[in-house]
Homo-oligomer: A and B are copies of this chain.
Amino acid sequence: MTHPAGTIYRKTELVGTSATGYDDAIRHAVERAQKTLRNVQWFEVKEQRGRITSGGIEYQVTLDIGFALEG
C-alpha cells in the first residue's frame, strides 16, 4: 500500500558568522554548505545570537539548510 516515493530532503544545521550582519552570515553558511552538499534548496533561520569582541560584534545565525537526497 506504499505509493512511489516523492523526493526526500535532508536538513543540516549550520551556524554562520559575520562582522557585518545576519544577511551576510547567512550567505557564508549557505556557501559553506554548497562546498560539500549538492542540491541545496532552502534554509530556515532558527536562532540569532552574537558575541561582543574587542573588534566589535560577531553576528551568529543558526540555519536549518535543506537539500534533496539523490536516489
Contacts and interface: CB of A to CB of B under 8 A. Distances in A.
A15 B19 CA distance: 21
A41 B52 contact: yes
Interface residues of A, number: 50
A11 B33 CA distance: 13
Main secondary structure of the interface of A (DSSP, over half): strand
Interface of A: 2-3, 5-32, 34, 40-45, 47-52, 57-59, 62, 64, 66, 69
Given A34-B52, A45-B50, 10 more contacts: A2-B28, A5-B31, A8-B32, A11-B14, A11-B62, A15-B66, A20-B23, A21-B22, A32-B69, A42-B49
